Amino acid sequence: MSGGVAYIYDPDGVFPAKCNMELVDLVSPGLADPEDEEIVHGLIEEHRDRTGSMAAAELMSDWFNTKKAFVKVYPRDYKRVLEVWLGERRSPQPYCSLIIVHQCTRTHSPRPRPWTVRFRF
């Protein structure tokens, strides 16, 4: 992974064991920073509003607990680039991915169906 930050919804806590830690750092809980929470909340809310997603609505309905299950994936190279940008007093153009691996309890799908929302700001 390079070129951005990912927020992984990991309610079962299995992601760290499956992640290649060679190039990234994990921040858990991933939404401890209010700015991160605002970004992810906004992305899920927008997805729900635009698509009528039941999974997004379910996540939003218990946001207090949902936000605790996110892990922030921060590529080390990306972090260094941001530090240089900030050192030069430029405004960084972060790129983040929101990756949800979640099975809506109201569906009868035999396995979780991941969805990804990518957003550049």
Instruction: Give the pLDDT of residue 99.
Output: 56
Instruction: Write the secondary structure of the chain as one string of H (helix), E (strand) and C (coil).
Output: CCCCEEEEECCCCCHHHHCCCCCEEEECCCCCCHHHHHHHHHHHHHHHHHHCCHHHHHHHHCHHHHHHHEEEEEEHHHHHHHHHHHHCCCCCCCEEEEEECCCCCCCCCCCCCCEEEEEEC
Among 6-10, 77-81, 84-88, 117-121, whose mean pLDDT is lowest? 117-121
- Measured between alpha carbons, how far is 113 from 115 in angstroms, rounded to an integer? 7
Tell me the mean pLDDT in the region 51-70: 93
Domain boundaries, the chain: 5-120
pLDDT in tens, 22-43: 888 898 877 888 988 999 999 9
Q: How confident is the model at residue 58 (pLDDT cuts 50, 70, 90)?
A: very high
Q: Are strands 24-27 and 115-120 parallel, antiparallel or unpaired?
A: unpaired
Average per-residue pLDDT in the chain? 75
